[in-house]
Amino acid sequence: MVTPEELDQIMKLRGQGRTQVQIAEEIGKSPQTVSNELKKLREQSVPKTNLTIIPAQDFQPQATTVSFEPKMFENLRIADTIYATTKTPPRTNAAITELYEMRGDVIHHTILPRHISAEDYSLIHDIIGAIDNNTLQDDINPGGYKKTLNYQEVLSRHSEQIISTMDLKKALTDWGFDLKLLPTPPPNARGVVIAGNPTEVQKPGPLSFLMEIAGGLAIKRWDKVSNPILKDIPSEFTDRVRYWHETGKGSNEIDQELKQARSSQLASYFHSADFITDIYKEIKVEGPKKVKFCLSKGINNFFLFSTLWESGAESKAEYDLMFQNGFKKWVDYQDAVNYGRILGNFNRPHTRHRPNDTHCTPDELNNIRAQGWDPTSLQSAHNIGIRVEEKKLYDKMFEMTLLTGDVNTQKSSVAWARSAGDLSKYEGFSSPRAAVLYGIIEMSPTSQMMLDSLLSLYLSQSAPGPVFSNVNQLHTLLDMPPFTDICVSNLKGGIVEKKEKLVVIEKEVVKEVVVEKEVIVEKMVEKKTTPLFNYGRYSELNSGNSKMNQKIRAALDRCSLEDSLTASFTRFESHVNKLWKKTQSEPVPKERGGVKLIDMAATEMKFPKPMLDKLHQARMLRNDELHPDDPSGLKLTDTHIKKVLEATEKIIVALG
């Protein structure tokens, strides 16, 4: 043990450059005691005090100069003011700082490590006095701390390990995605730079398009993981040294914490299903259906996703093909291709700019859809020469069952239909040829015609219709409405007897006795009757010879209120249905259809309230006829029939 006075003497003599033996002899102690006390001084931390360092341009010591390591220099220092010089040796950029303490006739001297300046020394001299030289050279290194604390350099050291922990295939599998759906990149696909190192390029593969996004996501995730570890470390070098000295967290310890965080938190994240959804959140694609859509098509940006998702195209190539041809929806382009294959260049402009088009233009497609075609009907129409703009002709011929037989027969029917004009005048007949025959009989100036002559006239007509080979077949036709309204066919006699126009023929049975044999003979007795009311003002009723018009006129001529209403209302409903299909977008209603149809017709045709009321009453009265067990209690008058006929006339005119 030494006294405080002896310890001060040891420090003073050591500062003068005396050896341990010389100091022992001076104070009367053993050299071992002096050695122990000096060792304690080296290990002892010097309390932090204000230290002034005076920078000197040059320093030429005249007194004896004693050099120490920085720790010993600090532990022996007693002055609060020292001098510093900085020199840069030739062929080097690293400055060397030297410190000098004036100790009477002796000068203490030390050389600081190159990474510590005189200013740094003034701030951390107490720490320098507490650590050995090796620690000062290796751990208290601003380069190491700077590397740890600099964000980009942290990424540089950790990014390769981060990327290597990303297992996209496993994440996709955990996410429930079939890896077989992954697209194969084109042969000239570029590789993806890994960890920002141009020398490390991943070869193109099914997952290449995701790697770059995943790498950026990893960097963002790493920032969140590393921030809690790095946030408390000071930015200034001397503050970092003091942080290290107080916490024991040097560059190596901090780096180890980062590695542990990387291997635990990042690894578990990269192997989770959330990783894939987060990747696509980066390009603003969210939701399982949309993510799978992107994965299956190799989509790696939002513009391409939104473009394909909205268009319905399966790939960028499909989208480009569709867009180049003027379409915005893949389904429209597909329809254009289908219709184009059906039509070829038939009835379409053929120019040098598009001699071999296999699809319709957008305008052509819109026209086809506006006409109401579908691929099946358009194919059928195209086969027999019906053009796109002749959809109404096609529908009418289809409705009249004129599109039967082989292709040549149908083509002949089309040619006839174009020349015939309005086909509605042939309604109510089994065929247009039958309608022509009806006109021949009706306009005949004679009251009797031979069946075989009528057969010849029937077969000579160009209008479509079945070909009869004998009078029996013709008799069968004439024995059905509407022919029975104008004539009587007698097969046995081979004649056809015409009925007088505007005369109701009533049959009555008269008995004649011939040679005690009772024979019942059917005679034709003409009885002129007055119609229920004058229907001459209903031009559409009188201009056509459809079966329905004939039934209405016949009922009116018979003065039958019930039959007139039933026939008139049936005709009215038929045309109201056509008006609905023309003006309304939804299908014809089934529930309470009669009421809705009448209300719609009244709205579209602007019928007054009294007419609307009569039409609804007529509907209920017609139902009374169909369902007599549940009567409405209304009384049928000819006014109901007149309103129905008037409404029908207006609707027919509106339909054109």
Alpha helices in 385-491 (DSSP H): 391-399, 407-420, 432-443, 451-459, 471-478
Measured from the Cβ of residue 343, the count of other Cβ atoms closer than 10 Å reads 21
> Higher pLDDT residue, 301 or 176?
301
- Kindly tell me if the per-residue pLDDT of 352 is higher than 90: no
Cβ-in-10-Å burial (0-12, 13-18, 19+) of 301 comes to middle
- Kindly tell me if the per-residue pLDDT of 504 is higher than 60: no
pLDDT (mean) for 559-578? 90
* Residue whose pair of structure tokens reads 């309470």 in the numeric block: 592
SS3 165: helix
Q: Which long-range contacts (CB under 8 A, 24 or more apart) does 473-479 make?
A: 475/451, 477/430, 477/434, 477/437, 478/454
> Higher pLDDT residue, 147 or 260?
260
pLDDT (mean) for 546-570? 89
Run of H or E including 74 = helix 70-76
> Higher pLDDT residue, 289 or 521?
289
Plot region of 121 (φ>0 → left; ψ -120 to 50 → alpha; else → beta): alpha
Query: What is the C-alpha separation between 328 and 70, in angstroms, rounded?
Result: 78
Query: What is the C-alpha separation between 467 and 458, in angstroms, rounded?
Result: 9
Q: Please report which confidence band the pLDDT of residue 157 belongs to, taking 50, 70 and 90 as the band edges.
A: low
SS3 427: coil
Greatest Cα-to-Cα distance within the chain, rounded to the nearest angstrom = 189
> Higher pLDDT residue, 241 or 472?
472
Q: Please report which confidence band the pLDDT of residue 165 belongs to, taking 50, 70 and 90 as the band edges.
A: low
How confident is the model at residue 464, as a pLDDT? 92
Cβ pair 100, 84 in contact under 8 A: yes
- CATH classification number, 539-655, choose in 3.40.1390, 1.10.10, 1.10.3470, 1.20.120: 1.20.120
Alpha helices in 181-287 (DSSP H): 208-230, 237-247, 251-261, 267-270, 274-281
> Higher pLDDT residue, 350 or 261?
261
Query: What is the C-alpha separation between 509 and 380, in angstroms, rounded?
Result: 54
Query: What is the C-alpha separation between 342 and 346, in angstroms, rounded?
Result: 9
Cβ pair 575, 655 in contact under 8 A: yes
Range of lowest pLDDT (9-18, 334-343, 505-514): 505-514
Q: Please report which confidence band the pLDDT of residue 432 belongs to, taking 50, 70 and 90 as the band edges.
A: very high
How confident is the model at residue 346, as a pLDDT? 44
Average pLDDT, the chain: 78
As separate numbers, helices (DSSP H) first and strands (DSSP E) second, the chain gives 31, 12
What's the distance, CA 470 to chain centroid?
A: 66
> Higher pLDDT residue, 368 or 245?
368
Q: Domain residues of the chain, as ranges?
A: 1-43, 145-282, 325-419, 422-527, 539-655
How confident is the model at residue 232, as a pLDDT? 75
Terminal-to-terminal C-alpha distance of the chain: 130
- Kindly tell me if the per-residue pLDDT of 105 is higher than 80: yes
How confident is the model at residue 372, as a pLDDT? 92
Range of lowest pLDDT (79-93, 476-490, 497-511): 497-511
How confident is the model at residue 641, as a pLDDT? 92
* Residue whose pair of structure tokens reads 């920085």 in the numeric block: 70
298 contacts: CB under 8 Å, gap ≥ 6 = 182, 183, 185, 209
pLDDT digit string, tens, across residues 220-275: 777 777 777 777 777 777 777 777 777 777 667 777 777 777 767 766 676 666 77
Q: Please report which confidence band the pLDDT of residue 318 belongs to, taking 50, 70 and 90 as the band edges.
A: confident
- Kindly tell me if the per-residue pLDDT of 309 is higher than 50: yes
Query: What is the C-alpha separation between 558 and 548, in angstroms, rounded?
Result: 15
Q: What does the buried/exposed string (b/e) look like for 102-132 if buried means 16 or more CB atoms within 10 Å of the residue's CB? A: ebeebbbbbebbeebbbebbebbbbbbbbbe
Percentage of the chain exceeding pLDDT 90? 23
How confident is the model at residue 207, as a pLDDT? 55
